[in-house]
Structure 1
Amino acid sequence: MIIEKIVTNIEKLDQEELNKRHKEKVYLESAHLVKRIQRVETDHGRELGIRLKEPRDLEAGDVLYMDEKNIIIVDVLSDDLLIICPRSINEMGTIAHQLGNRHLPAQFEGEEMLVQYDYLVEELLLELGIPFKREKRKVKQAFRHIGHSHG
C-alpha cells in the first residue's frame, strides 16, 4: 500500500470513531518524521510505502489510512532528551543564545525547553547552573534544523 496523503490526526477524531476501528501503528524515530518518502512497517507486519505529495512533516497521531474497520496511526519512539527548566528570563536568554550559536534545534512544552541529548550541552548546563533533567520522552514533531550559514 502506498500512502500519498495524511487522512487526519487522531486528535481530530472523536473517541467513538477511534474505538470502533482496529488500530495498527507505525513507530518512527523522530528524525524520520521529516522524510516524505520512506518504507515502513506497522506493528502488525503490514508494509507501507509513504510518498507524501504535500511538503509537510509527519506528526505523532497522523492517520495514514482509515476505512470502516481499520486505522493506521503514526507513533513516535522516545528520544533521549535534555529537559531544560530555566528559572528566569535571563537563564532562558543565556541558554537560548548558547544553543542558537550551536544551531541546535529545540522544542518547547509549557515552561520546558527540549533538546536532543548531547553531553556538551549537559556540561554547559551544569557549568551555567541552569536546571535540567535527562529523560526519554516522545516528541510530537521532529527536531528540525533551521538552514543557516555564517557566510
Structure 2
Amino acid sequence: MIINQVIGKLTELEHDHPHEKGALTVEQVFLSWDELQKRILRKTTDVGRDIGIQLESGHLHPGDILYREDNHVIVVSVKEEAVLIVPVKNMKEMGLAAHAIGNMHAPIEVKSDSLITPYNPVLVEQLSKMGLSPVKEDRAFAP
C-alpha cells in the first residue's frame, strides 16, 4: 500500500463523529521524531501491514490519518525513545539550557517548567556542569 497524502486528523474524526469513536478500528504506524520530518518512508504497522509513504510536500504529525476504509483507519503515532528532560526553575536556567541544546543543533520541545530534547550523553554532561539536573526518560517526542 502506497500513501500519498494525509487525509485527516484522528482528533477531528473523533470530534466530528463521536458516535463512530467506539466502532473505529485504529491501526498505528509508529515513527520516531526524526521520521516525522521525512516525506518518503517504508514502515510496518502495528498489525504487520507494510506501507509506503510518499508525500509530495509537508511532513507527518501524531494523529494524522493516512488511510481510511469504512471504520478502519491507519494513524501516525510517535514511538517512545530516550529523551532528556531538563527541569528549569527560572528564565536564567531556561536560557542556559536552551543555549546548550541549541549549540548541539538538537530539536527542542519547550514546556513551562522544562525543556525536552533527544537524549545525548555529551549534553547531559554540559548541562550538569551548568548546575542543571537533566533526566533521561523514555517517552514520545514530537517537537
Same fold (TM over 0.5): yes
Q: Residue in 2 aligned with 1:148? A: none
Equivalent-residue separation in structure 2 for 1:72 and 1:90 (angstroms): 43
Q: Residue in 2 aligned with 1:6? A: 6
Percent identity, aligned pairs only, is: 32
Equivalent-residue separation in structure 1 for 2:100 and 2:25 (angstroms): 46
Which residue among 34, 37, 54 is the counterpart of 2:37?
A: 34
Q: Matched residue pairs, number?
A: 140
Check the 8 A contact 1:10/1:18 in 2, yes or no.
no
Residues 12 and 69 (structure 1), Cα distance of their counterparts in 2 relative to 1, 3 Å cut: closer
Equivalent-residue separation in structure 2 for 1:18 and 1:109 (angstroms): 30
Question: Following TM superposition, by how much is the alpha carbon of 1:49 offset from its aligned partner in structure 2, in angstroms?
Answer: 1.3
Match of 1:30, as an amino acid?
A: W
Check the 8 A contact 2:40/2:54 in 1, yes or no.
yes
TM-score by length of 2: 0.88
Residues 111 and 11 (structure 1), Cα distance of their counterparts in 2 relative to 1, 3 Å cut: farther
Q: Give structure 2 stretches of 5+ with no counterpart.
A: none
Q: Residue in 2 aligned with 1:47? A: 50
Equivalent-residue separation in structure 2 for 1:109 and 1:67 (angstroms): 37
Deviates more, 1:95-104 or 1:113-122: 95-104
Moved over 4 A (4+): none
Cα RMSD (Å): 1.6
Q: Residue in 2 aligned with 1:24? A: 27
Question: Following TM superposition, by how much is the alpha carbon of 1:100 offset from its aligned partner in structure 2, in angstroms?
Answer: 1.9
